[in-house]
């Protein structure tokens, strides 16, 4: 009987010990659990959200203390023109049209091949107005073929394009090319010279008079 009681008491103590251990494990404090949990790293979404709400500092735009100076196109001092041996000249400011220096500016002189500039000017005006075209072929007349002086050597009766005649004037200073173009643009050289004089008056060349298309 005594032995049965001892076994029952021992079993009771064992059950009681297990119950106390289970209760102690289930009553662990949240603070302890939190302390042992590692902190998680910030995500990209978290960083982007934080940066979008951060205030942006405004950078001031620098302003000049002094305004930029304006350039006076009219010269205040014009130096004395040099003494040249040429019979005449004109020096003009292309931006303002102001005559800076001149010698015998209004005296009529033979312009020689400078005449070809007006011949080319009227040719380009005709091209601009679609009266003629660069690909047009011009038949060379006997008068154009016989023109003396500097030439591009076009042959009588041959067909030469307007483009080639222009090149012959610019490169070779061809008098024959000038005559051929004058006859083609004006119908004849006399009418073309009248056109040259009229254009000179329109351009302000009041004292200019042409007698041919070559100079």
103, 113, 143, 161: which is the annotated catalytic residue? 113
73, 103, 116, 128: which is the annotated catalytic residue? 116
51, 86, 173, 206: which is the annotated catalytic residue? 173
Q: Reduced to 3 states, what is the DSSP secondary structure of residue 27?
A: coil
Look at residues 70, 75, 158, 171 and name the one whose alpha carbon lies nearest to residue 120: 171
Give catalytic status of residue 116 as yes or no: yes
Q: How many other C-beta atoms are found inside a 10 Å radius of the C-beta of residue 105?
A: 13
Give catalytic status of residue 173 as yes or no: yes
Give catalytic status of residue 51 as yes or no: no
DSSP state letters, 55-112: PPPPPPPP--SSPPPPPPSS-S--PPPP---SS-EEEE-TTT--EEEEESTTS----G
Query: Given its phi and psi angles, is residue 9 left (phi above 0), alpha (psi -120 to 50 degrees) or beta?
Result: alpha
DSSP 42: P
First to last CA, the chain: 159
Give me the active site residues, please. Answer: 113, 116, 173
């Amino acid at each position: 009987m005594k032995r049965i009681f001892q076994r029952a008491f021992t079993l009771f103590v064992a059950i009681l010990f297990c119950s106390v251990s289970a209760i102690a494990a289930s009553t662990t404090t949240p603070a302890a659990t939190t302390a042992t949990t590692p902190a998680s790293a910030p995500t990209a979404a978290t960083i982007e959200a934080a940066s979008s709400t951060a205030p942006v500092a405004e950078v001031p735009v620098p302003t000049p203390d002094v305004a930029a100076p304006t350039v006076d196109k009219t010269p205040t001092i014009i130096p004395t023109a040099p003494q040249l041996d040429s019979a005449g000249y004109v020096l003009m400011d292309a931006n303002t049209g102001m005559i800076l220096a001149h010698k015998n500016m209004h005296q009529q002189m033979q312009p020689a091949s400078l005449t070809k500039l007006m011949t080319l000017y009227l040719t380009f005006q005709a091209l601009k107005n679609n009266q003629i075209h660069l690909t047009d072929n011009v038949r060379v007349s006997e008068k154009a073929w016989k023109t003396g002086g500097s030439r591009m050597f076009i042959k009588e009766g041959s067909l030469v394009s307007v483009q080639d005649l222009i090149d012959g004037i610019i490169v070779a200073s061809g008098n024959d090319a000038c005559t051929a173009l004058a006859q083609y643009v004006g119908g004849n050289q006399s009418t073309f010279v009248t056109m040259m004089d009229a254009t000179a008056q329109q351009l302000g060349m009041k004292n200019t008079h042409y007698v041919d298309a070559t100079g």
